[in-house]
Amino acid sequence: MISGLTAAEQQCHNLNDLKAGKYQGYKRLQLVEGLSELPEEILSLSDSLEVLDLSNNLLSELPDSFVQLKNLKVLFLSFNQFKVFPDVLGKCLNLDMVGFKSNQIESISETALPKNLRWLILTDNCLTQLPHSFGQLSQLKKLALAGNKLSAIPESFTQCKQLELVRLSANELASVPAGLFKLPKLAWLALSGNPFVGDHKAHSGIAQYEQQDIVLNEQIGQGASGVIYQGKLTNVDTDIAIKVFKGGKTSDGYPEDELNACLTAGQHENLINTFANISEPDFLALLMDLIPKGYENLGLPPNYETCTRDTFVEGSQFSIETISNIAKQLADVLSHLHNQQVSHGDFYAHNTMINEQGHVMFGDFGAATQLHNLSEVQQQQFERIEVRAFGNLLDDLLIHCEVIETREKSKLTDLALFEKVSNIRNSCLNDDVSHRPSFTDIKKLMIQN
């Protein structure tokens, strides 16, 4: 999380050792002790503490003395019992990442939000409104608000010009400010599970099974919304992948929305093929082809430092031909999705797989939004937001391009291709949403000489 942590600091700690003074000088502290109030001894770490994780306790408030933690940058208080966002945090000037997932927070005062926040997690709470002061969060890049009871978003929200990722799924929004779709940096937007988005699209020709029709074998993957197993249909000997959704809300929204978006996405050579589903009251699942062996994730998820941007294995390098090939495939599959009126909402290298032959597979529709009930203008804006995510991915790959490292030795054809892909990236990252190309435009640009 924070660089420079020792192995001991990265572990979970205990209250007795804290009281004995064994953690003096530590930058990170994690306690899971059934705490109902903040141990005073934490304040003795004020000169060093940068990361405090008190998730999975019984806390419902923070004392005014919490402001003494003057070096604190990251605070996790998920899975506690807060009903009010603590006012004292508004005085913690260095806090830039705060997580309150799965509490019961109903309100946030006008002065409670730290002004320098980059990353705010309020997933799965009971918020009905946001403070008007929200617009003062000029550094905010990443915002998770899925699974609340928001019926409106304040107009000041659109003053958060640095916002890049916004999760508003599974709320009660009948509308959103028009300025949301025009935020210059916004690249990842999820709005499913709101009245504003409307009902699911009807599906025809999709096979439907019952739970008794499948056999689950070993687990082969897991995400925020469900667990993926290798399995079979009871009357067929071929191995398949079966994604079984967890109950309730996830960090991205409702499992039913993900299932329906995945079915709406249809078939494409770069999508993991989904051929059936199970939709029972207490059991939701997608039946998919197994991904062939040899595919690896193109990138790794963001970390604290990068916030919204993917990370890559140290030393990763891509030829410009590889980057161009990846871009062509991804532009094609994203064009397909938007023609199906689906915005993926989580378009990242870490959700993209590639094999040695350069073939790309794309999936994970947890943050997808179906657009068929939105106006044509809103659908176009949603696409241009996703185009910025495409531009970010191109930018990440170009940073790791071999041409940059060996420019003097590169062939003229490589340099020309590098310039072409760079120009496409630049057009995708235009801060004016209306001036970005569509994915159909990008496909044409990619094949031009």
Identify the structural domains of the chain with CATH numbers, from first to last: 1-163 (3.80.10.10), 207-288 (3.30.200.20), 296-447 (1.10.510.10)
Q: What percent of the chain has pLDDT over 70?
A: 97
CA angle, residues 286, 287, 289, in degrees to nearest 5: 130
Q: Can you give the pLDDT at residue 9? A: 73
Q: Which secondary-structure segment (H or E) carries 418?
A: helix 412-428
What CA–CA distance (Å, rounded) separates 223 from 253? 13
Nearest of 303, 302, 288, 299 to residue 220 by alpha carbon: 288
pLDDT digits (tens, 9 = 90+) for 68-81: 999 999 999 999 99
What's the Rg (C-alpha) of the chain?
23
Q: What's the confidence (pLDDT) of residue 298?
A: 97
User: Two tokens at 308?
Assistant: 């919204």
pLDDT > 90 fraction of the chain, expressed in percent and rounded:
86
**Using 50, 70 and 90 to split pLDDT, how confident is the model at 397?**
very high
| Digit-coded pLDDT (tens) for 309-328 | 999 999 999 999 999 999 99
Average pLDDT over residues 163-185: 97
Query: pLDDT value at position 389?
Result: 98
- Checking if the pLDDT of 119 tops 80, the result is yes
Beta strands 97-99 and 119-121, pairing class: parallel
Instruction: Indicate the burial class of 423 (C-beta count within 10 angstroms; 0-12, 13-18, 19 or more).
Output: exposed
Cα–Cα dist 86/83, whole Å: 9
How much is the average pLDDT of 234-241? 92
Which tops the pLDDT comparison, 224 or 54?
A: 54
Exposed/middle/buried for 39, CB within 10 Å: 0-12, 13-18, 19+?
Answer: middle
Q: For strands 342-343 and 214-222, give the pairing.
A: unpaired
Task: Mean pLDDT check: name the lowest of 38-47, 241-250, 344-353.
Answer: 241-250
Instruction: Measure the CA–CA gap between 300 and 423, rounded to whole angstroms.
Output: 25
Helix, strand, coil share of the chain (percent; to 5): 30, 20, 50
Q: What is the mean pLDDT of the chain?
A: 94
Q: Is 289 helix (H, G, I), strand (E, B) or coil?
A: coil
pLDDT band at 1 (very low <50, low <70, confident <90, very high): low
Distance between CA atoms of residues 133 and 148, nearest Å? 19
Annotated binding site for ATP: 243
- Residue 16 has phi, psi (to 5 degrees) of -60, -45
The model's confidence at residue 8, banded by pLDDT at 50, 70 and 90, is confident
AA letter at 282 = D
Do 141 and 164 touch, CB atoms closer than 8 A? yes
Q: How many whole angstroms separate alpha carbon 51 and alpha carbon 13?
A: 13
Annotated binding site: which residue ranges?
A: 243
Distance in angstroms (rounded) separating the CA atoms of residues 446 and 421: 8
pTM: predicted TM-score of the whole model, two decimal places: 0.94
